[in-house]
Amino acid sequence: MAEPDIIADADDAAIARWLEQRIAAALAAAPGEIALTVPGGSTPFPILARLAEAPLDWSRIAVWPGDDRLVPEDHPASNVGRIRERLEPAGARIVPLTPDARPPRFALAWLGMGADGHIASLFPNTDPQVDDPLRVRRITPDPLPPEAPFDRVSLTMPALLDSDGIVFVIRGADKRALFEQAASGGNDLPVARLLAAAARVTCFT
């Protein structure tokens, strides 16, 4: 495991600029389409709104949700619906995550982390493994989060690790402490398992 690069006190604008630079470099290095995966939740969407204004060749960018709730796209809990609302007008191709999807290698995997150490919808009760034979799984969190009590579909550890870089955006001292504990091998939560296998991780706090 490489030591994560921690960037403290970054605001949404700074994170959006960093993402723009990374995506621009990936576009410059690839002749065709590149793929990104982005998280749901409340944190990423103000950043995505800023990123959508960046002068990138969005027609060459496919955006996948890292996980989604099994609800219609027009449901308020749909990650892909909200991602589509932000990035499709810029020209990106938005790819719904389904149980039979075949994820590509990602130029960048952007993740959040829950207070219980879950990433995407890989909750502790699902016992995610870095050698999972599947790249997408249908998952039922236990307990179901009261703010989103739905079954999920999620990229698995191998799908997330099949990327040129992983970036986290984590808000709050408690989550930062948990992330740092995971990075040092101090727990066996899903985030710790991913970090132990990842080669290149940046974390904005």
pLDDT value of position 90:
97
The pTM (predicted TM-score) of the whole model is: 0.94
Is pLDDT of 146 > 90? no
- Give the residue numbers spanning the domain of 189: 5-204
Helices (H) and strands (E) in the chain, counts: 6, 10
pLDDT of residue 2: 65
Residue 21: give its domain's CATH number: 3.40.50.1360
**pLDDT of res. 100:** 93
CA distance 138 to 120: 12
| Residue 23 DSSP SS3 | helix
Computed on alpha carbons and rounded to an integer, the radius of gyration of the chain in Å comes to: 16
DSSP conformation class of 166 = E
What is the per-residue pLDDT across 30-82, written as a single tens digit (0 to 9) for each? 999 999 999 988 889 999 999 999 999 999 999 999 999 999 999 999 999 99
**Residues near 166 by beta carbon (within 8 Å), at least 6 away in sequence:** 108, 109, 110, 111, 160, 194, 198, 200, 201, 202
Instruction: Name the domain count of the chain.
Output: 1
